Chains A and B, each alone.
Chain A
Amino acid sequence: MKVSKNELMAALKKAFEALGFQPGDCQDAADMVVWLQTHGFDGFDRLQGALAYLNTTAPIHADLVQEDAHHAVLDGRGSSILLCGSEAVDLIRSQVVEGSWAALELTDCYNRTFILQRLIKAAQRNLGFIAYWRQQDYCVKVSIAAGAQLPEYQTFTMTGEFDAQSLRIFSGADIDVIQHQFAQQLEFGEYLETFSGEEMMDCYRDSVEQGIEIDQTLWQTLDELVARILVESTDSSRAGAGD
């Protein structure tokens, strides 16, 4: 079945609310899912993976375990980037504003591809970002120039030791400078492929024109979550609607 972006956003926000997310987190998480899905990153598949976890625990946010003027380390405590992504990006943004560049590591965190939307949104504030993480047996590198609407998304083979669930983000005004500054940390194995901006835009344009294809089972799952925040209707409650 197809749904519109707006009704998907509405359903996701309510579903996350049902999972115990706070109002700001509901919005951010829904934004992340919708962005990924509408830009061709299999947002729904990743969401299903996240829901399997989120449905079993109260929301867990990251802990700040180490920080200086340009560096920070957050412990994701096994949680989802849907919950930790905003705080990680906000922290590195604040460091860059105050110190012109910053590097952040988020450990023990899942569903990291969703971070793309938070980085794109932050890039609109004239900040550039480079991020990388391990995805199964390869490495994902994302580069977003200041003000860019789309990321450069590339994959590489693995080299050296990569923490399976960590995410590293580097930020500054100019990503070429960042790339140069952190060249050693941004060395990966053999280049595999690029998911181009054109492909992302094609997906996006199609979702706007035709709607977004969603598996009925996932839509049903969201419906069931939304039902948790609805209140039983009674004669008394109908009076609260004007009857």
Chain B
Amino acid sequence: MHRDHPTTGQQTGSNGALPLRPASQVMQLERLGSFHQSRLSFMRTLVRHMVAENWQITSPVFDLDEQGYGTVVYQVEAKYGTFSYVLFSHYLDPENRNDRVIANQWDLTMALCEGTVDAAQIEFLRHNVPKQEAGRVDSRVLVLSRANRSARTFEYVVNELTLGRQPDVDVIAEVGYLYRTTAAYGSGKLGMADWEKVRTKHPDFARPFAAEMFTCFMLRHFSMQQADYLASKRSPESAVTLHENIKRYIGIGNSTGLGMAPFLINHPLLINQWIEMRETALARVVAASECGVDEATLKRLDLATQRVIQHLGEIITADERQNSSNALVRTELQLMHLWLQEQGAELANNHYVWADLIQHAEQSWRIETQEVINTLLIELYPELVDDLEEQMDVDESQQVTPEMSVAQLIDVIEDKYDWALAIDFSQYESMGAFWYRSQEKMEPRLGQTNIDMGMEKEMPLAIGRRVRECYDRLCSYNQVRPQQNVAHFNMHNPTYSGIVARIQTMALSQYGEIRENLVHSDVLPIHLLRCKLSFFGVSKFDPRSRLWVRNTMFQGAPLISDFGKPFADDWQFPIKPVLTSG
């Protein structure tokens, strides 16, 4: 098959003339909720830098008692600066172990600080870090975080090591981690350093969420070090340390709830940037196949596909929908595997073979399979993709264009927000939910219209509805006062100035607006969570309801002992390790 142009109906990215997939396709909530980790995910980028730059991490303070409680300080010599990771390990009554944001006690609490820390600062942190939201820190702190032990794996692993045995990989696979983090706060919360300070002063963490991801990476390191430490304390003679292959397979658990959802709505320019970079990566990959691809690349894709099939087969979740989805994706990837096997030689000579594959997937397979394939294609071309990691940040200020005529703004809405105008808000279900902040730690929650309290305090996250209301007002205004501009409209209708600024700003970008009615009775916020988590780089999604999801961070990633060594950067979609000696 020969194609002159990859696909149809595309947009052009800001990174050149490459055709990108249209927002009408990409920004559907279900598709966003099918995204997987990619080379541009923040964990992947961070790991690449740590390994290549050979960050040196030591522990000048490792003061744990026989039970593993106490204080640890890791000193981090990164490429551009020195940082301290200060961790407090506390006894926690299992009755009080709670992953929700409203919890107020945890097994571990941690802070990532700039520079070295002296005894006075450690004491200051000891008085504040364990309190998390109830404490205050200062601008020397970049990230504050906490974690809870896995009841299923931690003691099991320590016991096995104590007895001189490696833990059963199948048991590890069921959970995937020894600790779960329930929050990693940065960006100036609770008195910490602002993102502006981190971005301008600390190049090591000058990419979005890099410091937060590093905090979780260090938690992973500590979790295994603590398990080794406890085993050696319990039985110095018989204890063994965790096998390195098992260590690489151990990640950090994460519970993410609704708190993450408003972020995607409130940062449309940032989301636009993340998605545009991912789409640019995909477009570059498609363009690279203009003259076909070599057989070695096809083979790599096939191997990666088989790895995903195994990865999905090893996920254990009680969520029926996710189980069913994983099974279907495996089946469809198996079909792709067969397709690659049968047509490999011919495919190698096809023009735009990846465009053919993407099109075939869109016509034949479900959205989640399509996005797995897109992720795998991006993985094949690090040399085309990895530079985009430096373009994941953006100025987020929105600006009104006051001279635009009202008639023009109406046209803009009809063009860019047709998805919002297509929603029938006269239907009860279309406004069946509302978002609000709870008194409990200002936690965002989803209420049912006319059933739950708090509608009058609704958060302004219903972008589709606000656009609709603004559009209706603009149309009636334009009838009465034709020829007027947006400055006049806003002056007479100040209620709409915020949504007008958003519409005019976002009209200049391609992605950013999630094309879904987020106040529909049946809205699935879990898709929002998963979209953001995919950019973080998590894996093994395990939905616990439509409102929160468990997942695994850094599972399969290199260890600190791997820093500075040759590195394939292919740790996505982790699979059970095969133990070898050593």
Contact = CB atoms under 8 A, between A and B. Distances in A.
Interface of A: 1-7, 22-28, 59, 61-62, 64, 83, 86-87, 90-91, 93-94, 97-98, 121, 125, 208-211, 226-227, 229-234, 236-238, 240-243
A7 to B, nearest CB: 5
B interface SS class: mixed
B491 interface: yes
Contacts of A233: 438-440
17 contacts: A4-B191, A5-B194, A6-B194, A22-B496, A23-B499, A24-B501, A27-B498, A28-B497, A97-B402, A237-B447, A237-B452, A237-B454, A240-B447, A240-B547, A241-B443, A242-B257, A242-B548
A121 B397 contact: yes
Contacts of A64: 488, 491-492
Nearest to B436: A231
B317 interface: no
A38 B499 CA distance: 27
A232 B500 CA distance: 31
A241 B191 contact: no
B191 A98 contact: no
Contact of A231 (B448, B453, B490): B453
A97 B436 CA distance: 40
B580 interface: no
Given A241-B100, A241-B547, A243-B100, A232 B453 contact: yes
Interface of B: 100, 136, 138-139, 187-197, 200-201, 257-258, 397-400, 402-403, 436-440, 442-448, 452-454, 457, 460, 485-488, 490-492, 494-501, 544-545, 547-548
Q: Which of A1, A87, A121, A125 has the most CB of B within 10 A?
A: A87
A208 B197 contact: yes
B140 to A, nearest CB: 9
A235 B544 CA distance: 18
A7 B191 contact: yes
Contacts of A208: 194, 196-197, 200
Contacts of A62: 491
B439 A232 contact: yes
A125 B399 contact: yes
B139 A210 contact: yes
Given A24-B499, A236-B452, 15 more contacts: A5-B194, A7-B188, A23-B498, A24-B497, A25-B494, A28-B497, A86-B490, A91-B491, A93-B487, A97-B403, A121-B399, A209-B139, A230-B457, A240-B447, A241-B258
B545 A242 contact: yes
Contacts of A26: 498
A87 B191 CA distance: 33
A243 B398 CA distance: 36
Given A4-B139, A237-B453, A25 B498 contact: yes
Contacts of A22: 494-498
A7 B443 contact: no
Nearest to B445: A240
A3 B460 CA distance: 25
B193 A4 contact: yes
Closest 9 CB pairs of A and B: A24-B498, A4-B188, A6-B188, A231-B454, A23-B498, A242-B547, A24-B497, A90-B402, A242-B548
Contact of A242 (B403, B454, B487, B544): B544
A3 B191 contact: yes
Contacts of B201: 209
A94 to B, nearest CB: 4
Contacts of A4: 139, 187-189, 191-194
A127 B334 CA distance: 59
Q: Which of A59, A210, A238, A242 has the most CB of B within 10 A?
A: A242
Q: Which of B445, B446, B453 has the most CB of A within 10 A?
A: B445
Contacts of A209: 139, 197, 201
A121 B490 CA distance: 18
A240 B457 contact: no
Given A24-B500, A94-B486, A121-B397, A61 B188 contact: no
A211 B498 contact: no
A230 B402 CA distance: 33
Nearest to B258: A241
B428 to A, nearest CB: 18
Contacts of A5: 188, 194, 196
B445 A241 contact: yes
Contacts of B192: 4
A61 B491 contact: yes
Contacts of B191: 1-4, 7, 211
A6 B189 CA distance: 7
Contacts of B544: 242
A27 B564 CA distance: 45
Nearest to A13: B266
B494 A87 contact: yes
B128 to A, nearest CB: 12
A240 B440 CA distance: 12
A27 B397 CA distance: 10
Contact of B490 (A87, A229, A241): A87
Contacts of B436: 231
A54 to B, nearest CB: 15
A124 to B, nearest CB: 8
B497 A25 contact: yes
A118 to B, nearest CB: 11
Contacts of B189: 4, 6-7
B486 A237 contact: no
Contacts of B496: 22, 24
A201 B430 CA distance: 49
Contacts of A94: 402-403, 485-488
Contacts of B138: 2, 211
Contact of B497 (A1, A2, A86, A91): A86
Nearest to A62: B491
A50 to B, nearest CB: 17
A97 B399 CA distance: 15
Q: Which of A1, A91, A93, A237 has the most CB of B within 10 A?
A: A237
B136 A1 contact: yes
Q: Which of A86, A232, A238 has the most CB of B within 10 A?
A: A86
B491 A241 contact: no
A1 B139 CA distance: 12
A241 B457 CA distance: 16
